Amino acid sequence: MTTSVPTILCFGDSNTWGFSDDGSHRYGLHERWPGVLRDELGPEFGVIEEGLCGRTTIHDDPFEDFRNGLEYLRPCLDSHVPDLILLMLGTNDLKHRFRLSAWDIAAGVGKLATYARTRPLQPGTPATQVLLVCPPPVLETGPFVNMFAGAAAKSRELAPHYRAFATETGSAFFDTGTVITSSPVDGIHWKKAEHRKLGQALAAEVRRLIPECAGRQSVE
């Protein structure tokens, strides 16, 4: 039997991309959380970074094109064929222009998880496990305060809804708000130290879930 390296796909928005909290740069390869995750897991795992600034769950943005997460998730999964996807979206859905409830946002993430777990597979393609990652609460401060008006209170309601949709879709769940906080500089992004803490925490989750991934049969 041939043993392959498990592929981990990190699918998210600007915090997965590594946008700094002062808006001046992108954090380095070993500073943003997917890079920390890669360093923590070592060469026995393949980690793919797929972050896009402004990405939503399932919604078209009237001001930013090509930000609908569902539209890109489909070819992304077929391209990388991950064993496990760390799915962390929802922060951009908090923008005032979308006028979504916390439940609506979680339902969007649930739709993504459902697609990832049930999409048609080519022969020999492994089924994909999903870790549904709830982003931390945001703060209404800094340059994005008007864009995210009303988002702070709503963001604090996300975790229980994400947990419920994780259960409904057969996904694992992780609440980043138990580990990290958003930066008071812009209220949305994270300081470098928070990326490190999250990458380390998610490495432990990946190690816990990978035996489940490895135990699943590929489609024949």
Taking alpha carbons only, the member of 165, 194, 133, 159 closest to residue 8 is 133
Q: Which two tokens stand for residue 114?
A: 């459902």
DSSP string, 165-218: HHHHHT-EEEEGGGT----TTTSSSB-HHHHHHHHHHHHHHHHHHHHHHHHSPB
* Cβ atoms 137, 183 nearer than 8 A: no
Query: pLDDT digit string (tens) for 39-88?
Result: 999 999 999 999 999 999 999 999 999 999 999 999 999 999 999 999 99
Q: Which two tokens stand for residue 105?
A: 């946002």
Could you list the beta-strand ranges (E) of the chain: 7-12, 46-51, 84-88, 129-134, 172-175
pTM to 2 decimal places: 0.93
Q: Which two tokens stand for residue 136?
A: 């931390």
Torsion of CA 166, 108, 34, 210, to 10 degrees: 30
What are the counts of helices (DSSP H) followed by strands (DSSP E) for the chain? 7, 5
**pLDDT number for residue 183:** 98
CA distance 19 to 86: 18
Taking alpha carbons only, the member of 39, 36, 40, 34 closest to residue 82 is 34
Can you name the CATH fold of 7-215? Rossmann fold (3.40.50)
Mean pLDDT of the chain: 93
* Cβ atoms 148, 188 nearer than 8 A: yes
Query: Mean of the pLDDT values across residues 95-115?
Result: 98
Chain centroid offset of residue 138 CA: 15
**DSSP 8-state assignment for residue 139:** -
- The confidence band for 216, taking pLDDT boundaries of 50, 70 and 90, is very low
Query: pLDDT digit string (tens) for 15-27?
Result: 999 999 999 999 9
CA distance 19 to 119: 31
Taking alpha carbons only, the member of 97, 32, 29 closest to residue 60 is 97
Q: Which two tokens stand for residue 144?
A: 């994005």
